[in-house]
Amino acid sequence: MSKLHYLANPARFSRLSALILPWLALATILLMGTGLYLGLLDSPPDYQQGETVRIMYVHVPSAWMAMGCYSSMAIASAMALIWRHPLADLIAQESAPIGACFTAIALATGALWGQPMWGTWWVWDARLTSVLVLFFLYLGYIALVNAFDDPQRGARAGAVLALVGWINIPIIKFSVDWWNTLHQPASVSRLDAPAIHPDMLTPLLLMGLAFLLLYLVLLLLRVRSRLLERRILVLRQRKMEEWGS
Amino acid sequence: MSVLGLGGFGAVLGRDLRLAGRQGSDVLLVVGFFVLGAVLFPFAVGPDANVLARIAGGVIWVMALLAAMLSLDRLFQADYEDGSLELLVLSPLPLGFLVLAKCLAHWLTTGLPLLLAAPVLAILLNLPLDGFAALVAAMALGTPTLSLLGAVGAAVSLGARRSGVLVSLLVLPLTVPVLIFGVAAVDAAVGGYPTAPHLMLLAALFLAALPLCPWAASAALRHAVE
C-alpha cells in the first residue's frame, strides 16, 4: 500500500515520469524500428497468404493492445474506486482514447487483410463483432466521463462502467475457441509451442513489445499533460482571486 | 434484516408500480414505440411475406431493445431530481435490494408489456408459427437482463448532460449477447432445431446479471448522491 501511494503525489509522479519518458521513447523507437524491418522486409512471405501476411505485424499487436488498454483501464478504475488513488483515475481516463485508437487500427487493418483473403471487408463473426463492441465501449466510456459538469463524478461513473464493460474482454479472447467462426484461432498464446514459425514469431513479439511501450509512452505523456492542465487551472484561479480582492 | 429487506423491497416495488400506474401514458408510450417501430419495417423492406418471416425475429428483438432504452431514464432520474433517491440510499434497506426492486418494477412496466405485445407483432410480421413459443420464452428470459443492464447504465449516467442519449450508447453494446441468443432461439425454432441451448444461455446471462448489475448500479448510485 505504501508503494502504491508513493506515486500518488503528482509532483513526484511528474519528476519520475520525466526521468523515465526519454528512455522509454527511445526503447519504443528502437523496438518498433527493428520489428518493422524484420516484419516488413526480412521475414518470409506466407506460403498461402503471400505478402499480405505482413499486415499481421501491425494488426495482431494492436488487437492485443486494444484488449490490454481496456484491462489496464479496468484495473486502474478498480484502484480508483477502492483506494481513491488520484492518479488511477487519470490513468483510466487517459488510457481510453489510446485504447480506442488501437481498436480502430485493429479493425481497419483487419478489414484491409480481409478484403484479399476472405474476399470481404467485414463479416459478422464472433471475434470481429466483439472487437467492434469493444470499440463502442471505449466510445461510451469517453462520452460518459466527459458528460458531467463535475469531473470527479465523471471519473467515478466511468470507473463503474469500465469495470462492467470488462466482461467483454474474455468474450473477445475466447470467441475464436467458443464459436466456430471465420477468424482463425489463437496461434501464439497456446499451452504448447506457438503454431507459428520463429522467423515470423520474432518480429511479431518485437512489435507486440513495441506497441506496449508505445502505449506507456503515450499514457505518460497524456497523464503529464493532464497534470499540467490542472496546475494551469489552479494558477489561473489563484490569479483571478488575487485580482478580485 | 431479512424481514426489513423484504418489507423494504415490497415497499419500493409497490411505490414504483403505483407511480407507473398513475402515469400510465409512460407504459403505453414504450409499447407504442415498440409496435410502431416494428410496423415501419414492412414499409421499408417491402411487404414480401417471405422476407418479413425471415427478419421478424430480429426486428422484434431490436425494437424491444430500443424500446427498453427509451424507458430507462425513468428508472432513477425522477427520484434523483426530487431528492427521494438520497433518502432511499440512506435507508437501512441494502442498496442492492433497492436497485433490484426498481429493476423488477421496471421489468413489470416495460419488459412484460413488450413480452405481451411481441406475439401480436409476430403475427403482423408473418413469423412462422413454430417460432412463437421460442420468441416468448426468449423474451421472458432476455428482457429482465435488459432491465438489469439498463439499471447500470441509468445509474452511471445520473446527473450527466444529455443522459437519455448517453444511456443508449452505454447500454446497447452490453446487450449484444442478449440480442444474439434471443434471435438465435427464434431462428432455431423456425428452422426446426432445438432451442434449449440458446434459452439456457439467455438464462445464464440473466443469472449472471442478477447479482452483478444491482451491485454495480448501487456503487454508481452511491457516488451519484454523495
Is B26's pLDDT higher than 80? no
Cell output for A229 = 492542465
Contact: A157, B169; criterion CB under 8 Å: no
Q: What is the mean pLDDT of residues A205-224?
A: 93
Taking CB atoms and an 8 Å limit, are A147 and B216 in contact across chains?
A: no
The percent of residues in chain B predicted with pLDDT above 90, rounded, is 41
Is B163 in the A-facing interface, judged by CB distances under 8 Å?
yes
Interface mutation target, options B69, B156, B163, chain A, most CBs of A under 10 Å: B156
- β-pair partners for A50: A46
pLDDT at A193: 59
Q: Which of B152, B166, B224 sits opposite A147 (nearest CB)?
A: B166
Higher pLDDT residue, A163 or B3?
A163
Helix B163-174 to helix A151-165 angle, to the nearest 10 degrees? 20
Greater pLDDT, B135 or A46:
B135
Instruction: Kindly indicate the confidence band of residue B16, based on its pLDDT and cuts at 50, 70 and 90.
Output: confident
- Inform me whether the pLDDT recorded for B18 exceeds 70: yes
What sign results for the dihedral spanned by CA atoms A238, A242, A243, A244? positive
CA angle A52, A209, A192 (to 5 degrees): 75
Where is mean pLDDT largest: A146-150, A192-196, B22-26, B147-151?
A: B147-151
Mean pLDDT estimate for chain B: 88
Spell out the CATH class of A26-43+50-183+203-238: mainly alpha
d(CA A88, CA A8): 9
Q: ∠ at Cα A16 (A14, A22), nearest 5°?
A: 95
Residue with grid cell 432511499, as numbered in its chain: B88
Chain B closest-CA separation from residue A147 CA (Å): 5
CB A137, CB A169: distance < 8 Å: no
Q: What is the pLDDT of residues B66-79, one digit of tens each?
A: 999 888 887 888 88
Q: Please, are residues A100 and A71 in contact by the beta-carbon 8 Å criterion?
A: no
pLDDT band at B93 (very low <50, low <70, confident <90, very high): confident
A42-78 confidence digits (pLDDT tens): 777 776 677 777 888 889 999 999 999 999 999 999 9
- At residue A194 the predicted structure's pLDDT band, cuts being 50, 70 and 90, is low
Percent of chain B as helix, strand, coil, to the nearest 5: 85, 0, 15
Handedness of CA B201, A137, A146, B30 (dihedral sign): negative
| Chain A contact present for B177, CB below 8 A | yes
Diameter of chain A by CA atoms?
A: 76
Query: What letter represents residue A124's amino acid?
Result: W
- Residue B50 has a CB neighbour count (10 Å cut-off) of 8
Contacts of B93 (CB under 8 A, 6+ apart): B4, B5, B8, B9, B12
Confidence of residue A186 (pLDDT cuts 50, 70, 90): low
Least CA distance to B155: which residue of chain A?
A157
Q: Say if residue B2's pLDDT is above 60.
A: no
Domain boundary assignment for chain A: 26-43+50-183+203-238
Q: For residues A50 and A134, which has the higher predicted lDDT (pLDDT)?
A: A134
Q: Name the pTM for this structure.
A: 0.86
Matching residue, cell 400506474: B21
Q: Which has the minimum average pLDDT: A27-31, A46-50, A167-171, A188-192? A: A188-192
DSSP SS3 for B126: coil
Residue A191 clears pLDDT 70, i.e. is over it: no
3-class secondary structure, B167: helix
CA-to-CA dists, residue A66 to B64, B73, B165, B209, angstroms = 31, 31, 25, 25
A102: Cα separation from own chain's centroid: 6
pLDDT of residue B1 exceeding 50: no
Interface residue A78 vs chain B (CB under 8 A): no
Q: Report percent pLDDT > 90 for chain A.
A: 38
Q: What CA–CA distance (Å, rounded) separates A204 from A58?
A: 8
Highest-pLDDT range among A35-39, A178-182, B56-60, B91-95: B56-60
Alpha-carbon distance of A106 to A125, in angstroms, equals: 15
